A and B are shown apart, each in its own frame.
Chain A
Amino acid sequence: MNPPGLPVSGAPLLALRGVTKRYANGTVAVQGVDLGIARGGFVSLLGPSGCGKSTLLRMIAGLVPPTAGGIAWEGGRRPSLGFVFQDPTLMPWRTALDNVALPLRLAHVPKAERQERARAMLALVGLAEAAMRYPRELSGGMRMRVSIARALVTEPEVLLLDEPFAALDEITRFRLNNDLLRLWEARRFTAVFVTHSIFESVYLSERVVVMAAHPGRLHADIALEAPAARDEAFRTSPAYAALCRTVSGALEGAMAA
């Protein structure tokens, strides 16, 4: 287990220095976070509710300005971002295809091209058949797939996910975990994944950053030495159980801190 801070190797894609968020009512959501995230990694932010992990993610996305501290991107330029919310956050009046094509449409990509790319992206998340269906006509898991497809359709360098699978049943969640890993292996975007599930964080990520609450701050930074192939066999392996125990111990420490 390493102390919180920057990873040892290379210049990080993203560097947070003393990032603090204080709301107008005096609540400190995030206090002095120093964190570096390397390109192409899969990092989970894990912590109890109220630890400011979602706020931190929103600050990384640029949706919420930090009260103090700085967020610096490699080369001083914010890379293209994809964001997946806790809810699918689809437009109910648009088909799955049009929802996925939205980022391209807002970027004035010609219709034929954006439809083709959105169709390809939908196929990649296993929803080729559902292109013309409306969100209301899709299951919760399918809606979340559409949401992920929309976040990835612009082929972003960074994918930010805010507890995307929290509202899904376990079977669907496992399947979407695998889909997400498959997409990450294929595309190698940098993933920052907010979750309150120890098992999910261990299954998905190369690195788990554990946060403590009141005020939200970093507690531990755990690099996971896991096998390259993460699949259902890994989920039941002793190595997985041992990693979960390590992370669980750190989380308990965070709760006590």
Chain B
Amino acid sequence: MSAASEGGRGGAWARVLAPLLMGVLALGAWEMAVRHFGVPAYILPGPVDIARTLAADGGSLAASLMVTLRITLLALLIAVVSGVALSVLFSGSRWVEMTFLPYAVMLQVTPVVSIAPLIIIWVDNVQAALLVCAWIVAFFPIVSNTTIGLNSTDRNLLDLYRLLGASRWQTLVHLRLPAALPFFLAGLRVSGGLALIGAIVAEFVAGTGGASSGLAYRILEAGYQLQIPRMFAALALISLSGVAIFLALSLVSHLLLRRWHESALPGER
């Protein structure tokens, strides 16, 4: 990257430092406001209070975080496998797509909060029920993006493959799947965040206690006991996990596309 782009369009450092500085300022203002107006901790705790709680309760919260993350990542994995498989089916036949796409959309637009209670009744195992809820919200962006990607393969390249006598399998593996990769990865980044939301929402609805409960239950529990700083601490962990998932998936996307796709190339202008 050239010096001009460092200064003019914001270099790598500015990209990290600017939002970080903004965050520190906001947290400082929050802390000062809480102290200045004497807001009690059970209404709104200050960041220092929350950090202290996070440090003290970190162990028990981290265990719950692991439970939630396990559900999230497993649901994302299942969403990727089932989503890509469904997209290949969709793009292979107009009839299959016409028949099933409306139901995939229906599943997507129905709020997961409203179906979660049913799923929890129907599915015996709570963990499995949570997994189903998280999967429902995570799989649609993958299906819709990957289907668009598979269908927008360069026509001339498809003609070339036909001319070269490529089999359907060869065309899929060597041409259509790689062409769909940028679309799939964009969907994956959205789905990563949605899987976490789905898992949290389902945990709220299930409201299961005990050793194997996730972060959402910790929030409910802290709320009942008016341990507001602990609620915020759990909330902070959820946000940070969401950010971490997004960054990790962005990194995967960058590594896979950096040599060839427009979206991953440095802006040389």
Contact = CB atoms under 8 A, between A and B. Distances in A.
Interface size class of B (residues with CB under 8 A): 20 to 34
A102 B156 CA distance: 14
Interface size class of A (residues with CB under 8 A): 20 to 34
A62 B160 CA distance: 11
B225 to A, nearest CB: 54
Contact of A89 (B157, B162, B261): B157
B164 A107 contact: yes
A134 B160 contact: no
Interface stretch (B48-56, B83-91, B101-109, B174-182): B174-182
B6 interface: no
Contacts of A61: 163
B161 A135 contact: no
B163 A136 contact: no
A103 interface: yes
Contacts of A89: 154, 156-157, 160
Given A85-B156, A93-B178, A102 B164 contact: yes
Interface in A142-194: none
B260 A134 contact: yes
B236 interface: no
Contacts of A135: 260
A136 B260 contact: yes
Nearest to A90: B157
B133 to A, nearest CB: 35
Contacts of B156: 85, 87, 89
Contacts of B174: 91, 102, 105-106
Contact of A92 (B161, B163, B166, B261): B261
Contacts of B170: 106
B160 A92 contact: no
Nearest to B178: A93
A83 interface: yes
Interface string B247-269: 00000000000011110010000
B259 A134 contact: yes
A196 to B, nearest CB: 18
B170 to A, nearest CB: 6
A106 B165 contact: yes
Interface string A74-88: 000000010101010
A62 B163 CA distance: 8
B124 interface: no
Nearest to A104: B164
Contact of A106 (B154, B166, B179, B181): B166
A187 to B, nearest CB: 19
A105 B174 CA distance: 10
Contact of A136 (B160, B175, B265): B265
A253 B160 CA distance: 35
Nearest to A88: B156
Given A63-B163, A134-B260, A136-B260, A91 B265 contact: no
B265 to A, nearest CB: 7
Nearest to B265: A136
Contacts of B175: 91
A81 B164 CA distance: 8
Interface in A115-141: 134-136
Interface string B6-32: 000000000000000000000000000
B56 to A, nearest CB: 50
Query: Which residue, of A81, A83, A93, A134, has the highest number of chain B Cβ atoms within 10 A?
Result: A93
A87 B162 CA distance: 17
Given A89-B154, A92-B260, A105-B174, A63 B162 contact: yes
Interface string B168-190: 00100011001101000000000
Nearest to A89: B156
A91 B163 contact: no
A183 to B, nearest CB: 19
Contacts of A107: 164-165
Nearest to B175: A91
Interface in A11-28: none
Contacts of A102: 164, 174
Query: Which residue, of B163, B179, B265, has the highest number of chain A Cβ atoms within 10 A?
Result: B163
Given A85-B159, A92-B261, A107-B164, 8 more contacts: A63-B163, A89-B157, A91-B157, A93-B179, A93-B181, A93-B259, A106-B166, A106-B170
Q: Which 3 A-B pairs have the closest CB atoms?
A: A89-B156, A92-B260, A85-B156
8 contacts: A81-B163, A89-B160, A91-B175, A106-B161, A107-B164, A107-B165, A134-B260, A136-B260
Interface of B: 154, 156-157, 159-166, 170, 174-175, 178-179, 181, 259-262, 265
Interface of A: 58, 61-63, 81, 83, 85, 87, 89, 91-93, 102-103, 105-107, 134-136
